Structure 1
Amino acid sequence: MDKDTIVSLLEGLRKRETEEITIAKEDFLDFRSVLVKEPDFKHFRGIAQHGGSVIYRFLNEPRS
């Protein structure tokens, strides 16, 4: 997964165009390396799934 795709997915969550995105196990490290550099990183919640995929959602309030 390339950086432009990841940024596009994050923007979709921010703008509420999508409710959640699922990131496959093999794309997780690439995705996370971009996500942690975002200024609103704490607004994204990742929920691990069986098998290694992660579902991300955007929160109104930052997580602690």
Structure 2
Amino acid sequence: MESEIIKMLEALRNKEVEEISVEKEDFLSFRAVLVKQPDFKHFRGIAAHGGHVRYQYLENPRS
């Protein structure tokens, strides 16, 4: 599971995809990997209906 999440983050980071969607039941596993990333502040999570979260990669880190 962790290697799949890292691949998703790499695709987002490298602009291969514009955003990734994480289902409610996968959120905690996904976030555990995400917070370990050195560029964590560049990822923006947008809450969606039903507990789903969409992530985008920002050029400038969030504050």
Distance 2:38 2:11 in 1: 16
CA deviations 1:1-50 (Å, max 9, x no partner) are x0000000000001000000000000000000000000000000000001
**Identity across matched positions, percent:** 62
In structure 2, the partner of 1:41 is 40
In the alignment, structure 2 segments of 5+ residues that lack a partner are none
Count residues in correspondence. Answer: 63
Residue in 2 that maps onto 1:9: 8
Listed as ranges, the gaps of 5+ residues in structure 1 are: none
Output the CA distance in 2 between the equivalents of 1:21 and 1:10. 8
1:61 equivalent in structure 2: 60
RMSD, matched Cα: 0.3
Match of 1:27 in 2: 26
**Separation in 2 of the partners of 1:57 and 1:11?**
12
Which has more helix, going by share of residues?
2
With the length of structure 2 as denominator, give the TM-score of the two structures: 0.99
Quote how far apart the aligned CAs of 1:55 are: 0.2
Q: Secondary structure of 1:4's partner?
A: helix
Q: Which runs of 4+ in 1 moved over 3 A?
A: none
